[in-house]
Amino acid sequence: MNEVFSRLKAHSLVKEGLVFLKEDDERTLEEQVELTLVPAPSLMEEKKAQVFKAKLERYGLNNIEEDRHGNVFGIRHGNGNGPRIFVCAHLDTVFPEGTEIHATKKEGKVYAPGISDDGRGLAAVLSVLRAFEQTNIQTEGDIIFGATVGEEGLGDLKGVKGLFQDRKDIDAFISLEPGTPEEITYIGTGSHRYHVTYKGSGGHSFGDFGIPSATHALGRAISKIADLETPTEPKTTFTVGTITGGTSVNTIAQEASMMVDLRSNLQTELVKLEEKVLAIFREAAEAENNRWKSSKTSIEVTMELVGNRPAGTQSPTASIVQTAMAANESLGLQPVLSEAMSTDSNVPISLGIPAVTLGAGGDCGGIHTLEEYFDPKDAYLGPQVLFLTILGIVGVHGEVLPLLERGEE
């Protein structure tokens, strides 16, 4: 594989592309700021999607579309003799509607909510697209450049789930997230999230004493969840993230709710944990009702699945993983296989489709806070690694055969 990248880097058009990406660095940062200033809370990405779509049109892609889920993408056709790859970043941010977004520069860094996650990813995708248009490299396989919706939080990977539900012609997938290009995520942490609500009649704390309480039932459930033991390998976790309920200090609560997050790097362990927690939800209501044996009222529980991200595993020796590593090494970088994370790549990996998530370049901090920042030092290395990784996967006509075959797992 190192020989392949030596040949790629010796190719005149590839050389031109790498130089272009370094020289394009400042423009990429300007576009990164421009995109970041367009608000895009999860499931409310329409305005930013239109801005991104217009840029895809400007940079010469074909068959540009916005699908029924809100994803936007277009295709750069190859010769039809290689795999088809989808390359993307996500449009949405974690910040709610109404968040003020301003970009300020301080000590070489750019501060703005969403400037790194995933403003940097979106800008890097566009920079690489410009490099392909600038050089007109003829690839064997097709490249789809795009942006997805609903990656963050309760967006629940809506865009990428819909993409693979609708399309069966994608052979490989790369998504971009904040971070240095050496970081390669090739396995996905799965998660199931529940909104759980306990309801009863409620009443006065003194006058109606003796009837079940929704908050007491909630407390019983939380206590049992807190005592659960989970494996460290594969890493499997749980947390009760938020709780709400009750109306006053002297009220037997009529309603109480919590949000519960369950995660694992292995889907079977996630399901095992989920089964235990669902049983606890029900047992807590039953225990509260049995405690008071009230003939007047009882507590009922409802459990709503509000997040379902599949876990995904693939071998570190998979072609797409090794290609990303070799691309890094060809630029003198030291690639690192990251621990499992939850990204858009979860979905294709869970379906057996080769996928990686790469760092989009530069440095960052304060992710998911109003103090989020991006440090552009050597940021061009992110697009350069992506450029070479894509070329390795889809192949260059007359020079390098694709390192990934169609339908390869």
Architecture in CATH of 194-309? 2-Layer Sandwich (3.30)
More confident residue, 1 or 16: 16
- Tracing tokens 């970081």 back to the chain, one arrives at 183
299, 196 Cβ separation under 8 angstroms: no
Judged against a pLDDT cut of 70, whether residue 248 lies above it is answered with: yes
141, 85 Cβ separation under 8 angstroms: yes
**Could you read off the pLDDT of 309-353 as tens digits, one per residue?**
999 999 999 999 999 999 999 999 999 999 999 999 999 999 999
Residue 406 has a pLDDT of 78
The one-letter amino acid code at 394 reads V
Record the tokens describing residue 66, joined without a space.
């916005």
| Nearest residue to 240 (alpha-carbon basis) of 275, 283, 195 | 195
The pTM assigned to this predicted structure is 0.93
**Could you read off the pLDDT of 80-129 as tens digits, one per residue?**
999 999 999 999 999 999 999 999 999 999 999 999 999 999 999 999 99
Q: What is the DSSP string of 170-227?
A: --EEEEEESS-TTEEE-SB-EEEEEEEEEE---EETTTTTTS--HHHHHHHHHHHHHT
The mean per-residue pLDDT over the stretch 217-233 comes to: 98
Residue 298 has a pLDDT of 95
**Could you read off the pLDDT of 174-201 as tens digits, one per residue?**
999 999 999 999 999 999 999 999 999 9
Residue 409 has a pLDDT of 56
Residue 295 has a pLDDT of 74
Superfamily of domain 2-188+312-394, CATH level 4 = Zn peptidases (3.40.630.10)
Record the tokens describing residue 343, joined without a space.
């990204």
| Nearest residue to 52 (alpha-carbon basis) of 33, 36, 72 | 72
**Could you read off the pLDDT of 278-315 as tens digits, one per residue?**
999 999 999 999 999 877 789 999 999 999 999 999 99
Confidence of residue 405 (pLDDT cuts 50, 70, 90): confident
Domain with CATH 3.40.630.10 in the chain: 2-188+312-394
Q: Listing from the earlier edge strand, what are the strands of the sheet with 104-106?
A: 104-106, 109-111, 373-375, 363-365
pLDDT > 70 in the chain, percent: 99
| Nearest residue to 260 (alpha-carbon basis) of 312, 343, 191 | 191
Residue 408 has a pLDDT of 62
Domain with CATH 3.30.70.360 in the chain: 194-309
